[in-house]
Amino acid sequence: MLLLLFSTPTSQAVQTDTSETAHLNTSPGAVSLTIYQAQDLALIEDRRTLELTQGASEYQIQGISTRLLPESVQLEAPEMSQPLQLLEQRFENDAISLEQLLKAHLGQEIEVFASQGRGMLYRGRLVSTQGGVILEDDSGRLQVIQDATRFLFPPQGSNGSMLLWTLVSESAGLQPIQLSYLSEGLDWNAQYTAVMDSSEIALDLDSWVSITNVSGLSFEPAQLNLIAGQIHRAGRGISPPMAQEVAKAASGSPFVEEPSFEYHRYALQRPVQLPDGETVQLAFLQAHALPMEKKYIFAPYADDGVQVWVEFNNAGPMENPLPAGLVRLYQRTPEGMEFIGEDRISHTPIGERVKLLAGLAFDLVANRIQTDHKQLGERTYRDSYQITLTNHKGEDALVQVRERFYGDWKIVSSEPEFTKLDAQTIEFQLLVAKDATAVAQYTVEYTLPY
């Protein structure tokens, strides 16, 4: 039997004691994965069967992640009347790499798959790995393979990463156990596609989750849970609270969403295969005909041009907490689909508004000039500004003009009237007719704190 590189490590348990040779327990584990977004962290729960001997014995637990955090290991034996006592634990990380395997099999016969044409299979004795993979076939010819994509090696003795336990059991025999531990090397992120209709009044939202596994262990299959929210880890910040909702199926999605502590859990309703070294993409949330609004904002403290924003409420057809992620914006036109920009969203509970910056408006031109400046005191000043917007579009445009101030300030005069948004920001609403201009002007007095 050959060992296939990148194949699934079988979850196994080996038991030894001081009086007899260790034997192999080939019962595979049933694995549940809980992966935390943007944390490079997962909780792995592995249910398997362990053959126990009475008293103190040593056990080797194989089929575990090479990125396991040893101090996080937990062991449970739910059907035992007396709990198992874990006296000692050691973690041996003997991760297998392609470089190590090739070096270990020099002089031995291997099989190599190459990408040439429709894919070629080569067999022969491994002679060298300098400048490619060099094989010698049965006739003595040398074959140099520089586009190798996969390798088959004969069986070798390495057990890979393992936990070495000294356990005390009050009874002997087969017992179901649950091994739980945290592992690095597993992560996920969300990506969204928002497609506006040509009238710019509604959009369709589709999303995918990308799950990356570089833990050194393949999961085939596993029950999958994704956690959205920022868990607190030393030096990494604190999770904000999120709205609590009853569990429900996400619209058009194979996931069921439910609250989990102060975060949100998305449980996949089928087992999934996550090979080591690969990224797997799964369909996530979907919603159609979401009412949207396009806004023009000129904020000179943020941008020189007029920003174009696309906004919609996380409600109605969606009604699911949206994990943080990248949103790509498109628009349907009579000529086809157009990409119009992209932005990132933070974790967005139900009922909150999603705001996406698409870009800068080409045909809306903003010009801001300072028309006056006077010093009234040691740290007190009076400034006047004029903002002119020019509309080269083929239709009228409503632009929100925002200004931001610091220190102790007040508006002495303004045209038109303004709205105070917060302690530092005011806003003018300017309706700019097509092929015309509109002007806002104001005078502000302010005292700097130092």
Tell me the CA distances in angstroms from 150 to 98, 105, 116, 293, one per residue in order: 10, 15, 12, 50
CA 173 to chain CA centroid, nearest Å: 42
Cβ-contact 242, 175 below 8 angstroms: no
What does the mean pLDDT of the chain come to?
85
pLDDT of residue 237: 47
**CA distance linking residue 426 with residue 301, whole number of Å:** 12
What is the SS3 assignment for 103? helix
Per-residue pLDDT at 101 exceeds 80: no
Q: Tell me the per-residue pLDDT of 7-52, one tens digit each, with 9 for 90 and over.
A: 233 333 333 343 333 323 333 468 999 999 989 999 999 999 988 9
Please count the CA atoms within 13 angstroms of the CA of 300 that sit on its side-chain side: 18
**CA distance linking residue 231 with residue 306, whole number of Å:** 37
pLDDT of residue 99: 78
**CA distance linking residue 450 with residue 131, whole number of Å:** 66
Q: Give the residue-averaged pLDDT of 155-177.
A: 80
Q: Give the residue-averaged pLDDT of 83-106.
A: 80
Q: Is 139 left (phi over 0), alpha (psi -120 to 50) or beta?
A: alpha
pLDDT of residue 116: 66
For 320, counting Cβ atoms within 10 Å of its Cβ (0-12 exposed, 13-18 middle, 19+ buried), the class is buried
pLDDT of residue 95: 57
Per-residue pLDDT at 309 exceeds 80: yes
First to last CA, the chain: 78
pLDDT bin (cut points 50, 70, 90) of residue 396 is: very high
Per-residue pLDDT at 245 exceeds 60: no
Choose among 164, 227, 177, 165: nearest CA to 46: 177
Choose among 201, 192, 350: nearest CA to 285: 192
Beta bridge partners of 407: none
Beta bridge partners of 209: 190, 282
pTM of the model: 0.71
pLDDT of residue 94: 67
Tell me the CA distances in angstroms from 294 to 17, 84, 249, 257, 437, one per residue in order: 71, 62, 30, 30, 20
What are the φ and ψ backbone dihedral angles of 299, each rounded to 5 degrees?
-125, 95
**CA distance linking residue 46 with residue 177, whole number of Å:** 8
pLDDT of residue 30: 87
What is the SS3 assignment for 102? helix
pLDDT of residue 9: 34
pLDDT of residue 119: 66
Cβ-contact 194, 318 below 8 angstroms: no
pLDDT of residue 256: 87
Percentage of the chain modeled with pLDDT above 70: 85
Q: Which domains does the chain have, with CATH numbers?
A: 3-95+158-183 (2.60.40), 98-153 (2.30.30.100), 364-447 (2.60.40)
**CA distance linking residue 269 with residue 224, whole number of Å:** 8
Choose among 404, 294, 304, 401: nearest CA to 356: 294
What are the φ and ψ backbone dihedral angles of 72, each rounded to 5 degrees?
-95, 0
Cβ-contact 10, 162 below 8 angstroms: no
